[in-house]
Structure formats: C-alpha cells, structure tokens
C-alpha cells in the first residue's frame, strides 16, 4: 500500500499531462500528433535511444569485464575513472565539444556523446555483478571447447544480465528524455518538439500531448526491460582471479577503458578551460556566489537522494518479492518521471503544488520533491536487485524468532541491502546536481545551483565565463561518482 | 562488515539532517501567496520580477534602479518562453509582480490570458503607438531589428541580396541558418504575412523549407555558427552581434551584419517590453520600475549596454546603426505580430517546427 502512495507521487506528471492535453479536445490532439514532423521526432528519439543503449551495453560490459577479470594495473583507479562520465551533464559534454568543433551536429555526435556519458550506468552494476559471479562455469565452458567470447556468453553473461539490462534501461530512458545535448547538436527528437511547443506557442496543451507520446515510448522501453529481465538463480559466489595479460594485450585493452572518460569528460573540460584562457572579457569569478551555488547544489542533492530513496523503497521492496500486473504497473509508473524532460516535470509540480500546497510553492521542499519524482527510477532498479538478493531464508529465520514481518524486513533485509540503497542514493544525488530545467522552474527565487549558474553563461555562449562553473560542477558531482565506484553491490561477499 | 559500517543507519540519518539543514540555509524563504489584494497602493520597498532577459544584461540596470530608489528587486531569471509558460501555469497565484519579456509574443500571450493589469496612462502612452500594446496591458521598452548575419570571410555586404526573398534561392541551399522555434523568427514570418500577403509568405516559407535550411535553437547559436564558419548566413536580431563584438572587439568578428531594405519584412523591428501582473497591480514599487524602464535613464542604459534601439522619442539610437525611422514600414502595426498561432501552423505545415 505504501508502494501505491509512492507510485501516486510518481504519477503527478502524468496526471498533469492528461489534464493539460485534455483541455484542447480530441481533434486538436489528433492534429498535433498527425504532423509529419512528429513522426520524424519519434523516429529520431527511438533511433537515438536504441543506438545509445546498444553501444552503452556493449562498451559498459566490456569495460566492466576488463576491469574485473583482467589483471590491469590500478584496477580500482580505472573503475573510478570509468565512473567519472556520470558527473558530466550531457549538455556540458556537447558544449565542450562544440567549443573545439563548432560544425559538428546531427545523429552521430549525439549518439556518441550520449553513450560516453551513460556508459557508467552499465559499467558499475556489471562490474559489481562480475565480482560476485562465479567464474567456474566459464572455465568449464572453455574446457568443453568454447572460445573465450562464447564461453563468456554461455556461462557468465546469464548471471550479470539482470544488472546489465537494468543499467541499459536507465540509459534508454536518459536518451529518450535528454534535451540539452540534442539541442546543441541540432538533432530534432521528441524533446526538441516538446520544447518548441512550450517556447513557441505557449500552447501547453500541444506540449502536453507530445510529452504523453514520450511517456508511451518510455512505457514501451520499460516493458521491454521487464521482458528481458529474467532472474537467474545466483550460483554460490567464488571469486575469480583476474587473468594476467601480456603488455601488448594490455595496450590493446587501454582504449576500451579510456574511450568514454576521454570523450565524455577530459576533452570537453579541456575545450572549455582553453576558452577560459582566451577570452578577453573575463567575467570576474564571484567567490561567495560560487560557494553559495556549491552549497545549494550539494544540499539539495543530499536531500533529494534521501527523499527519493524513501519514496522508491516501497516500490522496490514490492517488486523484489512479487510479480503480477499490479506490481508491474506500479513499478512502471515509478519510471515515468525519468523519461520526461525536466520542463514537464517542473511545470507539473508547479501545477500540483499551487493546487495542493500553495504556501510551499517556490520553496525548497517542492524542489526536492521534484528531484525525487524525476530520479526515483534510478533508485528503484538498484534497490530492487539488492533487496531481491537477500536470501529469504534469513528473513524466515528472523520470523521464527518471533518478530513481525515489518520488523524482520527492517532489521534483516534492509541492512543487507544497504549497499544497493547507497548506490541508488548516490545515483540520485549525481543526477540532481546536474539537473537543469526543473530546477530553473521550481527553485526559490534567488537560489542558484551550479547547473543554473552554468546555464546563465552558456545561454549567451560565454564559453570562457562558463568554464569555472563547468569544472566545479564536474568536480562536485565526481565525489559521489567516485564513492559509487567503490561501493560493492551486495554484502554477500562478506558472508 | 566494513561495507555495512560505511552505510550505517546512524550515518545516513546524520547525512540526511545535514542535507536538509544545508539546503535550508541556502534557500530564501518562500514568498507568501497573497490571498487578498489591498485597495490602496502598497509601498513596501520591494517587488518580484520575472526576467526573460539575461542576467548579464539586466542585473546592472536593476542595481542602478535600486541605488537610485532604494527599492529591492527579487529577480527570477529564465528563458522568456519558459517564464511565460510558468506564468501561465501559475495564473493568479503567481508571486511575480513584473514580467520583463524578450519579445512581444510572450507579452501578447499573457495579455490574452488576462494575466496583466492595465497600466497607468503615463506608462502606457510613453512609447509611440506601434511600439507598445494597443490595450495598455504592456509597454514596449526596446527595439530589436531583424538582420542578416553573414560570414565576412566568404561574402561582402554588397554581394548579398537586399530583400529577404533573395535568401531562399538555390545558391543558399544548406547555407542559411534559421531558428524557426524562436519567437523573433516567428514574428518576422508574421510580418511577412501582414506585409506581403498570405500567399507570398507561404511561398517563402515553403521555399526555405525546401532549401536545406540549417536549423538552430536560437539567435546566439546562429551567431556562433556563422562566426565559426559553420554556415554562410543566418537570420538573427541585430544586438547579438554588437554584444559579441563588445566582448572580443569588432575587428575580431568573422561574422558581419547586413540590414535589409526598409519596408522589407526581413528588416522589421520587434520590441521587448514589460507588463505588470495582476498580483502586482497595486504594488507601487513595481510601477516605479516600469516607469524607470521607459524613462530616459533606463532607455539610455539599453542604448549603451545592449545596443538596442530606444523607443522613447528623443533618445538617440546607438552609433553605427541605421536610424529606427529608416527601418520601420509605416504599414506595419506591431500588435499584429501577436497572431503567432497562424504563423506556427504555417511553419509546422512546412515541416520547420
């Protein structure tokens, strides 16, 4: 029942969209959807999401495999580096590349850069899963004559598959909802259409109709993930020694490890910082204001992480133990916020808070609430996996000792699943730090985060003045990303 | 159990408390929503402004205003369209008193929704007719001329066509940058419909759509694109170029400006403006700010800092720009530019938005 309440919260944007779209009447809705450009938007959105998910899945799994199963020097450092693209907002990556190559645009840069910044969503869970997965079966497959790649697919892949697919879901939803990068690369996706509708026509009904279309696409993706997610019983974990590889082999593997951080983090930041040195009219860096922005960013990120985890916990707990249509529906609703562009979630919460709690409007509470709605899905997936991994027999043992189901859950399941809760919280914190459109709409007047300060400068293409804020944003968001790379996925290894 | 210790429940609670405290300290108190509107003008020394114009442009003006009058301004910066959507969503419950808009379309939309209060005569009639609202709901503040920005390394001003029709010929295929989602572009297309007729406008739009137009998100993006040699020319507002030139020096600008012939739709002058929302109707401080915007001091600020045209009679235009009178076609009534919906249908039918 608590899960239903959480799902209701996640459904706020959906309700808002239905209300606004409904205002205009069926002919208008049909007219909006029948535009030829809309078909192009849908095709572009789906194509970009599919391509990004595919490459992120392949690259993420490869990177995770190399880090955990091959004897690379400084493997912990490499895991850390592979998590860094999480700290870079997609619009920042695009911006940093446009500084050096102003003419890039279209599908290919959008696809490549989106892949670069979303790869960690696959790498981190797969690396964690590989650490826990048994390597015995793979060895057995090799002795039976399978080549190394085939052995991997037959023996190891089934047990890391749920983690990889969950990560791929986040990648797909991110690609569907992204606006900043595709706007810079001038690649017209559905989010571009939604934004045009808001900015050009002030016709919120039209924008809402297009946003509902995006929701439909997202639901298709979520359903696809559910179909692909088949829980494989985990074999007894026995750590596998990393395989040593020759020097030339290591050098050949280096590009795999380095490509995403290079493209997504290093190159854009270098591009921006070089402009900082070139600009003749440098806006002075206002120290107290910068610190204020850092404080706001960190503060709301922590608050949002806590709140999102609390909201997601009931849904994740429900989905971990039960199947069935209602559970599937509740979980799907939880993912919706992630698929929608921030402006939609922002406006829906303006609508909701003015209708229900007008005194809190433009207060920090509503902003944190918005982040929780937006990013709850990041927490749901990891927590569901973590909660599901706790052996039910431990809970049964606790029950035989006489404590109630809720107490058993709180005292046995949650502490064991805490690492996955931690991962969920960190993912939400990182996403909050980077978030822009909902923040612009809902923040208390006068409060700035690093992302809004960055936007202030990028909107007039002041590359040089934007650089310090960009660098600081990545730095601040890198802290949870680094912590994330160090967290082990389950406590099972300690048992 | 190192891992569990690292995430113990007590440390999580500590982090959560710290997070709430930290975010609370950084936030200003939420503005209380007024439930009753007092009959007497309220003078409390402060008001709330939603500014669709960039902070870098506007904050110094606001600081100047505060220094002269002592009135404190709480500013919320954003994109004009997003703020307009926000104001429409907030409706009567909006905490904003004044809306400063980048273009007349947003002002028209808010006026139509009944969210503006009627301005007193001295503000409503400060600007010449045609540069301000017809029903007294908003006042024009500055003028922004549509121009062609071109790649100075590839073209000279004399080679380029003088009318907008010349920019959709085959030699411009793939070389013309436009921002069809941008309000200024749409205002220009509306002007084309008004000045040349629906058929001619429709023909121009279709010709553009079939000529591989380079679609950008906004005027700044187009200027950056032309300056970087990405496209040969683009349609923007004049002051973007002057703003960039002030930063890096005009001699370092690869992009150059060309004003089209007076009377051609490609050289129309849009206005930016401001209005008072119903919630701020009795706030005397808000009215004071609007008076300041249309006063000689305010107008001179825009001339000197943003290189836009002043609308108040008697103030000189920025040096180097063609005079306002030479650009305006006397047949064009700017309030006609508020009819955006039909223009958008035209653009959407052509596949541009």
Angle between helices A342-356 and A204-228 (to 10 degrees): 110
Decide if A199 and B181 are in contact by the 8 Å CB cutoff: yes
pLDDT at res. B26: 38
Task: Report how far residue A159's alpha carbon sits from residue A150's, in angstroms, rounded to the nearest whole number.
Answer: 15
Distance from CA of B24 to the nearest CA of A (A): 7
State the count of interchain CB pairs (< 8 A) between A and B. 198
Decide if B243 and A460 are in contact by the 8 Å CB cutoff: yes
Look at chain B and count its residues. 353
CATH number of domain containing A384: 1.10.3720.10
| Of A351, A308, A329, nearest in space to A13 by CA | A351
Indicate whether B331 belongs to any domain: no
Distance from CA of B32 to the nearest CA of A (A): 6
Distance from CA of A378 to the nearest CA of B (A): 19
Percentage of residues in chain A having pLDDT higher than 70 = 89
Interface membership of B48 toward A (CB under 8 Å): yes
Q: Are residues B131 and B277 in the same domain?
A: yes
Question: Which of B22, B72, B87, B224 to mutate to test binding with chain A, by most A CBs within 10 Å of its CB?
Answer: B22
Which whole number is the average pLDDT over A435-441?
84
Residues of chain B with C-beta less than 8 angstroms from the C-beta of A441 = 78, 82, 86
- In the DSSP assignment, the letter for residue B352 is -
Residue among B106, B220, B351 whose CB faces A202 most closely? B106
Residues of chain B with C-beta less than 8 angstroms from the C-beta of A351 = 89
Q: Are residues B182 and B244 in the same domain?
A: yes
Decide if B181 and A195 are in contact by the 8 Å CB cutoff: yes
Indicate whether B14 belongs to any domain: no
List, for residues A182-208, the tens digit of each pLDDT value.
Answer: 888 889 899 888 887 776 666 677 788
Q: Are residues B148 and B264 in the same domain?
A: yes
Question: Which of A459, A479, A486, A491 to mutate to test binding with chain B, by most B CBs within 10 Å of its CB?
Answer: A459
Q: Are residues B315 and B232 in the same domain?
A: no
Decide if B27 and A444 are in contact by the 8 Å CB cutoff: yes
| Of B182, B341, B328, nearest in space to B260 by CA | B328
Tell me which of A3 and A81 has the higher pLDDT.
A81
Q: Are residues B164 and B108 in the same domain?
A: no
| Of B279, B257, B255, B276, nearest in space to B266 by CA | B257
Where helices occur in B136-234 by DSSP H, the ranges are 183-196, 198-209, 219-227
Indicate whether B32 belongs to any domain: no
Classified as helix, coil or strand, B176 is strand
Q: Are residues B54 and B194 in the same domain?
A: no
pLDDT at res. B330: 61
Residue among B85, B91, B228 whose CB faces A202 most closely? B85
List, for residues B149-182, the tens digit of each pLDDT value.
Answer: 999 999 998 999 999 999 999 999 999 999 988 8
pLDDT at res. B333: 61
Residues of chain A with C-beta less than 8 angstroms from the C-beta of B90 = 350, 354
Minimum mean pLDDT among A148-152, A362-366, B263-267: which range? A148-152
pLDDT at res. B23: 43
Residue among A298, A354, A444 whose CB faces B22 most closely? A298
CA A55 to centroid of chain Cα atoms? 16
pLDDT over threshold 70, residue B59: yes
Task: Report how far residue A163's alpha carbon sits from residue A131's, in angstroms, rounded to the nearest whole number.
Answer: 12
pLDDT at res. A52: 96
Full domain range(s) for residue A200: 2-494
Indicate whether B153 belongs to any domain: yes
**Banded model confidence at residue B16, pLDDT cuts 50, 70, 90:** very low
Q: Are residues B194 and B249 in the same domain?
A: yes
pLDDT, mean over chain B: 82
Task: Report how far residue A82's alpha carbon sits from residue A282's, in angstroms, rounded to the nearest whole number.
Answer: 33
Q: Are residues B185 and B198 in the same domain?
A: yes
How far are the Cα atoms of A14, A166, A202, A317 from residue B338, in angstroms, in the given order? 31, 48, 12, 53
Q: Are residues B178 and B209 in the same domain?
A: yes
In chain A, the residue whose alpha carbon lies closest to the alpha carbon of B338 is A201
- Cα dihedral A336→A89→A346→B53 (10° resolution): -150
Minimum mean pLDDT among A51-65, A92-106, A453-467: which range? A453-467
Q: Are residues B205 and B136 in the same domain?
A: no
pLDDT at res. B168: 92
Q: Judged by CB atoms within 8 Å, which residues 166-205 of B form the interface with A?
A: 181-183, 186
Indicate whether B162 belongs to any domain: yes
Task: Report how far residue B153's alpha carbon sits from residue B277's, in angstroms, rounded to the nearest whole number.
Answer: 47
Distance from CA of A282 to the nearest CA of B (A): 9
Residues of chain B with C-beta less than 8 angstroms from the C-beta of A487 = 3, 6
Tell me which of A147 and B86 has the higher pLDDT.
B86
Indicate whether B7 belongs to any domain: no
**Banded model confidence at residue A412, pLDDT cuts 50, 70, 90:** confident
pLDDT at res. A397: 86
pLDDT at res. A202: 65
pLDDT over threshold 60, residue A475: yes
Decide if A186 and B76 are in contact by the 8 Å CB cutoff: no
CATH number of domain containing B177: 3.40.190.10
List, for residues A280-321, the tens digit of each pLDDT value.
Answer: 445 566 778 888 888 989 999 999 999 988 888 888 877 777
Tell me which of A136 and A104 has the higher pLDDT.
A104
Residue among B56, B85, B230 whose CB faces A347 most closely? B85
When divided into structural domains, chain B yields a total of 2
**Banded model confidence at residue A242, pLDDT cuts 50, 70, 90:** low
Residue among B3, B23, B221 whose CB faces A491 most closely? B3
pLDDT at res. A351: 84
Are β-strands B214-215 and B255-258 bridged in parallel, bridged antiparallel, or unpaired? unpaired
Which whole number is the average pLDDT over A351-377?
84
| Of B134, B85, B91, B174, nearest in space to B339 by CA | B134
Full domain range(s) for residue B344: 144-268+339-349
Distance from CA of A285 to the nearest CA of B (A): 13
How far are the Cα atoms of B61, B284, B306 from residue B68, in angstroms, in the given order? 11, 16, 21
Q: Are residues B134 and B95 in the same domain?
A: yes
Interface membership of A256 toward B (CB under 8 Å): no
Question: DSSP labels for A26-79?
Answer: HHHHHHHHT-HHHHHHHHHHHHHHHHHHHHHHHHHHHHHHHHHHB--TTHHHHH
When divided into structural domains, chain A yields a total of 1
CB atoms within 10 A of CB B157: 13
pLDDT at res. A65: 86
pTM of the complete model? 0.80
Q: Are residues B196 and B159 in the same domain?
A: yes
pLDDT over threshold 80, residue A456: no
Decide if A447 and B228 are in contact by the 8 Å CB cutoff: no
């Amino acid at each position: 029942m608590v899960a239903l309440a959480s799902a209701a919260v996640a459904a706020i944007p959906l309700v808002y969209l239905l209300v606004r779209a409904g205002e205009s009447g069926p002919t208008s809705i049909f007219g909006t959807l029948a535009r030829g450009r809309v078909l192009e938007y849908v095709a572009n959105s789906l194509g970009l999401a599919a391509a990004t998910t595919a490459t992120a899945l392949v690259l993420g799994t490869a990177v995770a495999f190399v880090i955990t199963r091959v004897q690379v020097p400084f493997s912990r450092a490499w895991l850390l580096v592979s998590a860094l693209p999480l700290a870079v907002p997609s619009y920042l990556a695009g911006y940093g590349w446009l500084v050096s190559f102003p003419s890039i645009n279209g599908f290919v840069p959008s696809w490549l850069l989106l892949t670069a910044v979303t790869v960690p969503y696959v790498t981190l869970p797969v690396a964690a899963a590989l650490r826990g997965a048994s390597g015995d079966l793979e060895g057995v497959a090799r002795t039976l004559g399978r080549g190394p790649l085939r052995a991997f697919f037959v023996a190891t892949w089934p047990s890391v598959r749920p983690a990889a697919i969950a990560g791929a879901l986040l990648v797909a939803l991110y690609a569907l909802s992204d606006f900043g990068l595709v706007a810079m690369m001038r690649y017209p996706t559905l989010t571009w259409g939604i934004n045009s509708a808001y900015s050009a026509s002030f016709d919120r009904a039209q924008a809402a109709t297009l946003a509902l279309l995006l929701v439909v696409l997202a639901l298709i993706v979520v359903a696809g993930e559910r179909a692909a997610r088949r829980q494989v019983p985990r074999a007894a974990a026995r750590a596998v020694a990393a395989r040593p590889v020759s020097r030339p082999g290591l050098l050949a593997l280096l590009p795999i490890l380095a490509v995403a951080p290079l493209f997504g983090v290093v190159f854009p930041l270098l591009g921006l910082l070089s402009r900082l040195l070139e600009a003749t009219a440098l806006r002075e860096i206002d120290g107290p204001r910068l610190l204020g922005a850092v404080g706001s960013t960190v503060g709301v990120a922590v608050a949002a992480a806590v709140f999102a985890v609390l909201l997601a916990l009931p849904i994740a707990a429900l989905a971990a133990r039960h199947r069935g249509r209602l559970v599937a529906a509740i979980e799907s609703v939880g993912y919706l916020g992630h698929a929608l562009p921030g402006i939609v979630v922002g406006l829906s919460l303006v609508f909701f808070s003015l209708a229900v709690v007008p005194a809190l409007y433009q207060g920090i509470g509503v902003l944190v609430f918005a982040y929780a709605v937006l990013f709850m899905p990041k927490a749901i997936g990891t927590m569901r996996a973590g909660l599901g991994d706790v052996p039910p027999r431990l809970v049964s043992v606790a029950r035989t000792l006489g404590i109630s189901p809720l107490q058993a859950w709180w005292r046995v399941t949650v502490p064991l699943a805490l690492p996955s809760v931690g991962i969920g919280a960190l993912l939400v914190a990182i996403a909050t730090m980077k978030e822009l459109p909902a923040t612009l709409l809902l923040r208390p007047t006068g409060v700035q985060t690093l992302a809004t300060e960055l936007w202030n400068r990028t909107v007039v293409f002041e590359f040089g003045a934007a650089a310090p804020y960009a660098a600081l944003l990545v730095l601040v968001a890198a802290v949870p990303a680094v912590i994330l790379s160090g967290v082990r996925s389950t406590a099972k290894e300690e048992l | 159990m190192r891992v569990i210790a690292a995430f113990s429940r007590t440390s999580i609670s500590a982090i959560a408390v710290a997070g709430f405290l930290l975010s609370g300290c950084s936030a200003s108190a939420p503005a209380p929503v007024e439930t009753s509107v007092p009959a007497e003008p309220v003078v409390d020394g402060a008001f709330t402004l939603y500014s669709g114009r960039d902070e870098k442009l506007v904050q110094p003006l606001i600081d100047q205003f505060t220094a002269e009058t002592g009135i404190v301004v709480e500013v919320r910066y954003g994109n004009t369209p997003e703020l307009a959507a926000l104001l429409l969503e907030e409706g009567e419950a909006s905490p904003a008193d004044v809306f400063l808009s980048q273009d007349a379309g947003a002002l028209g939309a808010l006026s139509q929704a009944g969210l503006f209060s009627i301005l007193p005569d001295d503000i409503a009639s400060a600007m010449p007719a045609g540069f301000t609202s017809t029903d007294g709901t908003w006042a024009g503040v500055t003028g922004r001329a549509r121009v062609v920005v071109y790649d100075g390394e590839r073209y000279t001003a004399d080679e380029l066509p003088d009318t907008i029709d010349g920019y959709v010929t085959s030699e411009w295929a793939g070389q013309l940058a436009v921002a069809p989602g941008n309000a200024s572009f749409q205002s220009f297309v509306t002007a084309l419909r008004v000045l040349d007729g629906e058929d001619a406008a429709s023909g121009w739009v279709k010709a553009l759509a079939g000529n591989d137009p380079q679609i950008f998100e906004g005027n700044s993006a187009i200027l950056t694109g032309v300056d970087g040699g990405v496209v040969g020319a683009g349609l923007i507002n004049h002051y973007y170029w002057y703003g960039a030139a002030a930063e890096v020096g005009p001699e370092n600008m690869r992009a150059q400006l060309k004003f089209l012939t007076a009377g051609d739709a490609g050289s129309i002058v849009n206005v930016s403006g401001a209005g008072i929302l119903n919630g701020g109707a009795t706030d005397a401080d808000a009215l004071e700010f609007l008076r300041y915007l249309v006063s000689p001091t305010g107008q001179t600020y825009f001339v000197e800092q943003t290189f836009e045209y002043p609308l108040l009679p008697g103030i000189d235009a920025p040096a180097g720009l063609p005079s306002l009178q030479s650009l305006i076609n006397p047949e064009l009534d700017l309030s006609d530019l508020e009819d955006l919906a039909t223009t958008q249908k035209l653009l959407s039918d052509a596949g541009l938005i």
